[in-house]
């Protein structure tokens, strides 16, 4: 199942996800999830600020400033306000953005921090850190699971085709299969998987760990002739190493680095929890002093190392990914539209993951029967009602 390697106690969260898919929620999951989601958010935000400070100080060797942002428009504005250099393409992108800013998904929620340095009398944007939002985390977790399940169903369907070919005494490649027969075999394989979930039988391949390494992330802006400086810096930083490097070429051009990092726990624990989280925890029956103790225990008993993502890009390529040919939001929409498996089981997984990651944000203290079972069928309207009930949103009165 899902292993979120930027989090602490990731095996515990992985176990909750696995059990909920088999409809094996426990009353204790309500409190467990609250800590796993909220405490991890605080932990990630603090070690990410810690790490980003080391990176930007190491790269630029001079004081830098930062400011938090909550929507993508703030990032896009920072990119175009004072470009570090210009050419025909950059001028075109900046002009288009300034003429019709509303076309560029400015209101997209974005939990991040922008970093700047002062240079030659101008303020220069040098990068970003961000935490993947709960909804995007639920969506990505669901997509990973759905892709794995789709592969499993196809494998079962292929096995059924093999059986048919064997009965006919012909090689599989000689089997002529009509579209109707292919659909029937796929549906039979899907139904078999649903029965396995309902019967709480382990499913080969589905329960294998599926890592998500980019919940904590950074973007670092360096021109190509300077990009070697980042990898050299990471090699010099204590308790830090690059474990994976992937170069993207084409419409989207950047280098993705996965970095293993050992945060300074006691530095993270030196600050008290914020009022917002303390209020939320108190609404769930946890007094402020108890919440502080629980957070300290959560951090000290968790894994020593985490993984985070760094996207290394030039200024122009970052501009392309925010307002140009490879806009990030367009790529997200494409992922949603072209997901190969979109049946009832896929929708159920998506909604179950959203419910799981959203539950801790509600004031509901007790976890009863799960409202979503993978083997049942629901209309989309039902999922809307599930979330309304979770947050006690009144239903419209009957006419």
Tell me the per-residue pLDDT of 13-25, one tens digit each, with 9 for 90 and over: 999 999 999 999 9
- Strand 216-221 to strand 306-313: parallel, antiparallel, or no bridges (unpaired)? parallel
- Strand 216-221 to strand 64-71: parallel, antiparallel, or no bridges (unpaired)? unpaired
Residue where the block lists tokens 């288009």? 96
Q: Please, what is the Cα angle at 299 between 293 and 300, to 5 degrees?
A: 90
Straight-line distance from the first to the last Cα atom of the chain, in angstroms, rounded to the nearest whole number: 45
Residue where the block lists tokens 């659909």? 183
The secondary structure of 191-223 as a DSSP string is HHHHHHHHTT---TTTTS-EEE--SEEEEEE--
Contact yes or no for 378/372 (Cβ under 8 A): yes
Closest to 114 measured CA to CA, from 122, 104, 125 = 125
Looking at the chain, the whole-number percentage of residues with pLDDT higher than 70 is: 96
Q: What is the pLDDT of residue 350?
A: 94
Q: What is the pLDDT of residue 399?
A: 43
Q: What is the pLDDT of residue 186?
A: 77
What is the DSSP secondary structure assignment for residue 359, as one 8-state letter? G
CB atoms near residue 35 (< 10 Å): 21
Residues forming a β-bridge with 384: none
Contact yes or no for 222/314 (Cβ under 8 A): yes
Q: What's the pLDDT band for 311 if we cut at 50, 70, 90?
A: very high
Quick check: 397 pLDDT over 70?
no
What is the DSSP secondary structure assignment for residue 376, as one 8-state letter? S
Q: What is the pLDDT of residue 189?
A: 80
Quick check: 300 pLDDT over 50?
yes
Helix ranges (DSSP H) in the chain: 10-21, 29-34, 40-60, 72-80, 88-99, 134-168, 179-198, 228-236, 265-269, 275-283, 288-300, 315-323, 328-337, 344-358, 380-390
Q: What's the pLDDT band for 157 if we cut at 50, 70, 90?
A: confident
Q: Which residue has the higher pLDDT, 168 or 139?
A: 139
Residues 6 or more apart whose Cβ sits within 8 Å of residue 101:
73, 76
Residues forming a β-bridge with 124: 117
Q: What's the pLDDT band for 151 if we cut at 50, 70, 90?
A: confident
Quick check: 183 pLDDT over 80?
no
How does pLDDT run across 224-274, given as a tens digit for each residue? 999 999 999 999 998 999 999 999 999 889 999 999 999 999 999 999 999
Closest to 33 measured CA to CA, from 13, 50, 47 = 13
How does pLDDT run across 39-58, given as a tens digit for each residue? 999 999 999 999 999 999 99
Q: What is the pLDDT of residue 176?
A: 60
Quick check: 396 pLDDT over 90?
no
Q: Which two tokens stand for residue 11?
A: 């095996």
Q: Which residue has the higher pLDDT, 152 or 224?
A: 224
Total-model pTM: 0.90
- The region, left, alpha or beta by phi > 0 then psi within -120 to 50, assigned to residue 257 is beta
Q: Which two tokens stand for residue 252?
A: 């989207």
Quick check: 303 pLDDT over 90?
yes
How does pLDDT run across 60-118, given as a tens digit for each residue? 987 889 999 999 999 999 999 999 999 999 999 999 999 999 999 999 999 999 999 98
Q: What is the pLDDT of residue 30?
A: 95
Q: Is 311 exposed, middle or buried (0-12, 13-18, 19+ CB in 10 A)?
A: buried
Mean pLDDT (the chain) is 91
Residues 6 or more apart whose Cβ sits within 8 Å of residue 246:
255, 256
Quick check: 175 pLDDT over 80?
no
Q: Which two tokens stand for residue 112?
A: 């991040």
Least confident of 62-66, 297-301, 344-348: 62-66
């Amino acid at each position: 199942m899902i292993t979120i390697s930027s989090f602490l106690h990731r095996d515990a969260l992985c176990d909750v996800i696995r059990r909920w898919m088999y409809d094996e929620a426990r009353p204790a999951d309500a409190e467990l999830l609250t800590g796993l989601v909220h405490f991890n958010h605080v932990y990630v935000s603090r070690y990410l600020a810690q790490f980003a400070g080391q990176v930007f100080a190491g790269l630029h060797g001079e004081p830098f400033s930062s400011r938090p942002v909550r929507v993508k428009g703030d990032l896009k504005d920072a990119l175009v306000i004072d470009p570090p250099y210009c050419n025909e393409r950059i001028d075109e992108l900046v002009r288009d953005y300034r003429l019709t800013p509303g076309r560029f998904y400015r209101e997209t929620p974005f939990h991040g921090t922008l970093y700047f340095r002062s240079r030659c009398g101008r303020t220069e944007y040098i990068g970003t850190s961000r935490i993947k939002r709960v909804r995007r985390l639920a969506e990505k977790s669901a997509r990973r699971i759905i892709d794995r399940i789709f592969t499993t169903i196809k494998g079962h369907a292929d096995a059924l085709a093999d059986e048919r070919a064997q009965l006919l005494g012909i090689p599989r490649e000689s089997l002529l299969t009509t579209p109707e027969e292919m659909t029937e075999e796929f549906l039979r394989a899907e139904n078999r998987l649903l029965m396995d979930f309902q019967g709480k039988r382990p499913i080969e391949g589905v329960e294998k760990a599926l890592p998500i390494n980019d919940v904590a992330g950074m973007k670092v802006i360096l021109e190509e002739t300077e990009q070697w400086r980042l990898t050299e810096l990471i090699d010099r930083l204590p308790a830090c190493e690059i474990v994976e490097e992937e170069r993207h070429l084409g419409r989207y051009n950047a280098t993705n680095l996965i970095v293993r990092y050992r945060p300074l726990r006691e530095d993270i624990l030196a600050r008290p929890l914020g009022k917002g989280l303390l209020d939320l925890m108190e609404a769930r029956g946890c007094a402020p002093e108890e919440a502080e103790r629980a957070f300290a225990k959560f951090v000290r008993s968790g894994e020593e190392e985490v993984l985070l993502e760094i996207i290394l890009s030039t200024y122009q390529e970052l501009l392309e990914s925010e307002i140009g040919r490879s806009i990030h939001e367009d790529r997200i929409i494409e992922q949603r539209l072209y997901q190969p498996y979109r049946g009832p089981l896929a929708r159920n997984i998506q909604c179950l993951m959203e419910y799981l990651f959203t539950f801790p944000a509600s004031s509901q203290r007790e976890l009863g029967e799960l409202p979503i079972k993978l083997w049942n069928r629901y209309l989309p309207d039902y999922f809307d009602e599930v979330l309304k009930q979770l947050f006690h949103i009144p239903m419209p009165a009957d006419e």
